[in-house]
Amino acid sequence: MNILKIFFVSLTLLLSIAYKMNGQEEKYNKLTPEEERVIIRKGTEAPFTGEYDKFFKAGTYHCKRCDAPLYRSEDKFRSGCGWPSFDDEIGNAVKQIPDADGRRTEIVCASCGAHLGHIFEGEHFTEKNTRHCVNSVSMIFKPKEEVNDITQNKTEIAIFSGGCFWGVEFYMRLIDGVISTEVGYIGGIMENPTYEDVCSHETGYAEAVKIIFDSNIADFETIAKTFFEIHDPTHLDHQGPDVGDQYRSEVFYTTPQQREITIKLIRILQKKGYKVVTKVTPATTFWTAEDYHQQYYYYKQTTPYCHGRTKRF
């Protein structure tokens, strides 16, 4: 095994020299010594030290060496392993090859061969049951500007409140076309509210879920119908055992079209005999909730206790 390992290390060094000799390296980004150790010589950064280990902003992760897009922020999850973890890649951005140790599977950038880390399966962290364990120094993060996404990439934002935001987010993430979800607080009277502030019933905030979706795949009406079927829109200020104004049923529309569609759906339900109490309100500032609330059931690997799907349309 040691001989095999020495062989692969030597081969990597020779390939690195060859790239520089024939000019291929010139088209790639200049790397620091530490980046070269990981990306070229297949090293590993120390756990819990990487820039992106506990980093969860919206955007895309690109190869540090060639800038090729590798991962989306919505595929990143908290694994607790000490390195950034993703359960999916962008297209065929990553190649899998047997590792020199004979036990693991290495992942490299499909565009330039840069070492990223390793891939593991069967750990049951997410529904995809896959973990791309990636070194932070192998990537560069590029933030996603929501305004540009909406105008150029045909994405749209929708915000819903319908009981505990854990359960609403759980079901919304299952919809095809949903790019990302974020739980937080909206509709209140103070800045930077905390969970304790919201639970005091003195701030007017609702627990809500902000959804960014690809309108080429899913339209707002489809998502709104799901919202009306995963909670009971006839319950005033409570869902299941959760009682309080923060659990109210409310749609915070971000466009005039969303308002029209929501009102249309409410009228359809009313004609069917449902006494809908759902409010329809223009969206105001959405305050992101604490980290431990984000994708709660996704990481706990359980299902909601106060939400379920009931066919209403």
Residue 129 DSSP SS3: coil
Quote the tokens at residue 306: 């106060």
Q: Note the residue count of the chain.
A: 313
CA distance 174 to 131: 19
**Buried/exposed 8-24: b ≥16 CB within 10 Å, e otherwise:** eeeebeeeeeebeeeee
Nearest CA to 162 among 247, 261, 286, 224? Answer: 247
Catalytic residues: 133, 164
Residue 253 DSSP SS3: strand
Contact of 61 with 140, CB cutoff 8 Å: yes
